[in-house]
Amino acid sequence: MFFDEVGYVFVSVNVFKNLVNILYSRELSKKIRSAQMARNEEYLYGDARYGYEKSPEDKHWLVVDPEVARKIFTMAAGRLWL
């Protein structure tokens, strides 16, 4: 009787540990992929920052938006800030 109870507890602990290991592996895989893409200087996020736009050829690259860059340099030259 005691062995059966211990056996059931042992199995449930192993199932829980297995689930935790699977979730950890998935999270680690996402972090590694993100780091590799960042190392390759690929853009990973949804919207581009102000002054940049996503490249039409490759969505993982950013290019400078010429209109915004011209506006920023004009404001800096005239000492007009936002």
6-38 tens-digit pLDDT: 555 556 777 788 889 999 999 999 888 878 776
Regarding whether 69 and 57 lie in a shared domain, the answer is yes
Q: Is the pTM of this model over 0.85?
A: no
Regarding whether 36 and 46 lie in a shared domain, the answer is no
Mean pLDDT of the chain: 77
Regarding whether 56 and 33 lie in a shared domain, the answer is no
Regarding whether 71 and 50 lie in a shared domain, the answer is yes
Q: So what's the pLDDT on residue 73? A: 86
Residue 66 is inside which H or E element, if any? helix 66-77
Regarding whether 75 and 53 lie in a shared domain, the answer is yes
**Residue 15 belongs to what domain range?**
1-40
CB-based contact 64:51 (threshold 8 Å)? yes
> Once rounded to an integer, what is the mean pLDDT over residues 43-65?
78
3-state secondary structure of 64: strand
